[in-house]
């Protein structure tokens, strides 16, 4: 079968998995489809660009090794995020254990969705100031709170999807989001959260 990017776009996730198991070239379809969002997620957890590339490479090796064991009753994106999440957390732990846990800033403009205020009335300068403030606040949260906030408000996942990624009950997801918002309110003199 002739392999093209157009063919990849036409295939569902499950078809890509099935075809990847038969012909390795189709695995690149999976990579192409999810690379950008997974890389963005890893960087939002506080991993540098170079480390994020390494995390993603290792994660896709693990995905390939375990592709035959994918449970088709699960949502593929949640499964992929879980593997990438585990790899990113391992990277963050290694950094911390070696005393390298310096703060890594988020990419510019990624936290616009967290604010509850009406941003249409704000100037670009005011929005940039709010984004910077939100990034600084998220960097101060403990990792369990930061994870749920990034998944919910930046990756725009449902509680069910976050539960699948983090392997915690949906009630715990809700509690962590609530606690994270409370912690952000305490950290911020501004009513952005």
Are residue 111 and residue 79 in the same domain, yes or no? no
DSSP code of residue 154:
I
Q: Tell me, what CATH number does 160's domain have?
A: 1.10.10.10
Angle at 87 between CA 83 and CA 111, to 5 degrees: 90
- Give pTM, 2 decimals: 0.70
State which residues form the domain around 39: 1-104
Q: Which residues contact 118 (CB under 8 A, 6 or more apart)?
A: none
Are residue 27 and residue 89 in the same domain, yes or no? yes
Angle at 78 between CA 75 and CA 83, to 5 degrees: 130
Number of domains observed in the structure of the chain: 2
Are residue 7 and residue 96 in the same domain, yes or no? yes
Are residue 173 and residue 191 in the same domain, yes or no? yes
Q: Which of 62, 81, 104 is the last residue of a domain?
A: 104
With 0-12 / 13-18 / 19 or more C-beta atoms within 10 angstroms meaning exposed / middle / buried, residue 23 is exposed
pLDDT band at 47 (very low <50, low <70, confident <90, very high): confident
pLDDT tens readout for residues 59-97: 999 999 999 999 888 899 999 999 999 999 998 888 776
3, 37, 81, 137, 150 from 184: Cα distances, Å: 48, 25, 25, 7, 13
């Amino acid at each position: 079968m002739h392999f093209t990017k157009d063919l990849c776009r036409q295939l569902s996730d499950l078809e890509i998995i099935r075809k990847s198991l038969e012909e390795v070239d189709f695995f690149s379809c999976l990579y192409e489809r999810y690379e950008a969002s997974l890389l963005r997620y890893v960087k939002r957890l506080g991993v540098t660009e170079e480390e994020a590339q390494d995390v993603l490479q290792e994660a896709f090796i693990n995905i390939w090794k375990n592709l035959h064991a994918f449970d088709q009753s699960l949502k593929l994106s949640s499964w992929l995020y879980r593997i990438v999440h585990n790899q990113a957390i391992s990277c963050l732990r290694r950094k911390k254990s070696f005393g390298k846990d310096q703060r890594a800033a988020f990419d510019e403009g990624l936290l616009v969705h967290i604010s509850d205020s009406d941003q249409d009335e704000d100037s670009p300068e005011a929005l940039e100031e709010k984004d910077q403030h939100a990034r600084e606040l998220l960097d101060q949260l403990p990792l369990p709170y930061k994870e749920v906030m990034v998944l919910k408000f930046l990756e725009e996942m449902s509680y069910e999807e976050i539960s699948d990624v983090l392997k915690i009950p949906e009630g715990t997801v809700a509690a962590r989001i609530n606690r994270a918002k409370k912690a952000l309110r305490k950290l911020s003199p501004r009513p952005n959260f």
